[in-house]
A and B are shown apart, each in its own frame.
Chain A
Amino acid sequence: MNELTIRRNKAGQNIKETRRKKMNRRTKTVILTVLIAAVIVSALLAGLLISDEAVAIDFANAKQKPSFEHPFGTDWMGRDLFARTMKGLSISITVGVVASAISAVAAVLIGIAAATGSKALDSFVNWLIDLVMGVPHLVLIILISFSCGRGLKGLLIGIAVTHWTSLARLIRAEVLQLRSEQYIAVSRKLGKSNRWILVKHILPHMIPQFVVGLILMFPHAILHEASVSFLGYGLPPEQPAIGIILSESMKYLSSGMWWLAFFPGLTLVLIVILLDHLGDNLKMLIDPYSAQE
């Protein structure tokens, strides 16, 4: 009797566990999406709403350690680091969104063009990808930023130019595989035009790839934005992008003001990790084979 109930309990638990595991990835993705949306919206809102007074210079409160009043502390001019970080994040996120959107759209177009166009076009695209991959990305962004006179424009173009390659390769391979599918051959025999096939059969297949590629590209774009503005390119120093805050903090490291470098970087890393997780989960949902990797 006793044994029986225990066994039943165990079985019941087992069923529950497997059911929870099945739900897990989907629920996790939904939760992550909501979380990221909340973080991004709040960062963007903070960037808009935090007035310049909150980051105004206030020497009376300079060099304060993190406290309840200033959660991230204040810098050598008394500016509240939390407000600055939020503003910086909103800039980084905007740059990341715009640059990776441009890059992902370009990747889809180039990838499809390479797979459906002539052989010369295909080998040209491959050559172009080799070219972009051949110059270290940071050097290329520095060069592009230099040619645009070191502004937001150069930063956006630079990041967009360096990020499309891997997604374009993926999409090219995918389209090449799709082209040999039976239903494409059938609809061609039925007399459908190339354009019709492209729009009705190929593009819909590219949407999941596009979304996943975009989301996985996004954290990279943010990291690159931070690195490039850390080096002093991109945004002017008055705008508190995360990279600029961090590069300013370097001068004060030796005086022991660790919070200047620690917190802004940590927020950046958290956002990047969240986005990476979201992208990976989405990829596994869309392409179950990759979940085994």
Chain B
Amino acid sequence: MTAKRIISVFFRYLVRVITLLFAVSVIAFILVSLSPVDPVQQYVLSVGSVSPEQRAELEDYWGVNDPPVERFGNWFRAIIHGDFGTSLLYRRPVIDVIREKFVNTLALMGCTWIFSGLIGFGLGCVMGANKNKLADRILKKICLLLCSVPTFWLGLLLLLIFSVWLGWFPIGFSTPIGVLNSEVTIWQQLHHLVLPALALSLMSFANVALHTRQKLIDVLESDYVLFAKARGESRREIMRRHGFRNIIMPAITLQFASFAELFGGSVLAENVFSYPGLGSAVSAAGLNSDVPLLLGITLFSALFVFTGNMIANLLYGAIDPQIKESYANE
């Protein structure tokens, strides 16, 4: 029964995601074609000398002068078949570039996601359990402060302190310079990952921590916790039996729903640390008018965020009986 319901929710959400993705691709396409940058001119510039006849042929081949709807149709059909075009910047199929960069970004975001989740949840618990005591007040101030610090500035400060002054970590890139890709050890890669992941985690744990704090306070002030206290349960037992169980799932759901911010943050962090991931690729694509790559990454990031949201929704539905019921009533 419940499995059936989850599947139906899943499909309803899938339809929504597909319409949204379609809309994203339409809007992205319109935005890109509104751009004053001429893609043919960019291509010609990047290739070198091109005669006017070759240029006309190229325009014909790319269908620059076709009506926009037809162009969109062609582009969309190609995308459905997995052909995102060729990146002007990297001279390779966009899908290959995305795949390669995504591995790096995934390593960065995965570390951040787990790290910030654990730290945020831990600190949130500490804050909630010590409501309005000194530790809570200090930690809350820190969390609120971190919310107002721009990611890239924090990254710059970390670079200054740990790379320039202390020399503990390298200044940029995901692998040492002058070493073949095949010879890079996992330790070297991790070594390069530490600072960007730290910067991103510091930016994103505050949200989870403040949320967890609020939830835990709500739980600890509830009647059933009062009753548990009256029954003689110790603080630790109350936390274990009532505290954690009630707050861990909302925290996990929140983490899944924060994919958009994580992606946005990684764009900045990757640029500061010259980390070769999707984030630095998308800003390079925009700056160098690499239209296929820009469109590809936009769609990919939207897919990524929608996946996160879908997992969050499903988790919510599977766990919270109230929401489960509202699904059933729909």
Contacts and interface: CB of A to CB of B under 8 A. Distances in A.
Interface in B57-112: none
Given A130-B20, A139-B297, A143-B294, A233 B153 contact: no
Interface in B138-155: 144-145, 147-153
Interface string B19-42: 110011001100110111100000
A228 to B, nearest CB: 9
Looking at chain A's contact residues, the main secondary structure is helix
B272 A250 contact: yes
Nearest to B153: A265
Interface stretch (A71-79, A103-111, A145-153, A281-289): A145-153
Interface in A120-177: 127, 130-131, 133-140, 142-149
Interface in A248-293: 249-250, 253-254, 256, 258, 261-262, 265, 268-269, 272-273, 276, 293
A262 B155 CA distance: 11
Contacts of B189: none
Interface stretch (A14-22, A43-51, A219-227): A219-227
B212 interface: no
Given A149-B36, A230-B271, A250-B272, A135 B305 contact: yes
Given A131-B23, A143-B294, A147-B32, A136 B153 contact: no
A34 interface: no
A140 B305 CA distance: 13
Given A143-B32, A146-B35, A246-B156, A138 B268 contact: yes
B271 A135 contact: no
A138 B301 CA distance: 11
Contacts of A293: 214
| Among A136, A143, A145, A226, residue most surrounded by chain B Cβ atoms (within 10 Å) | A136
A168 B19 CA distance: 22
Given A134-B305, A138-B267, A146 B294 contact: yes
Contacts of A268: 150, 153
Interface stretch (B113-121, B122-130, B157-165, B190-198): B157-165
A233 B144 contact: no
B268 to A, nearest CB: 6
A262 to B, nearest CB: 7
Nearest to A265: B153
B253 interface: no
A146 B31 contact: yes
B20 A256 contact: no
| Complex A-B, nearest 4 residue pairs according to Cβ-Cβ distance, in ascending order | A265-B153, A147-B31, A136-B263, A272-B148
Interface of B: 16, 19-20, 23-24, 27-28, 31-32, 34-37, 144-145, 147-153, 156-157, 159-160, 163-164, 171, 214, 260-261, 263-264, 267-268, 271-272, 282-283, 286-287, 289, 294, 297-298, 301-302, 305-306, 309
Given A138-B267, A261-B157, 20 more contacts: A131-B24, A133-B260, A134-B260, A134-B306, A136-B301, A137-B264, A138-B264, A139-B264, A139-B282, A142-B286, A146-B32, A147-B31, A219-B148, A226-B150, A227-B150, A230-B152, A233-B286, A254-B163, A261-B160, A269-B149
9 contacts: A134-B306, A135-B302, A136-B264, A136-B267, A142-B283, A146-B37, A246-B156, A253-B159, A253-B160
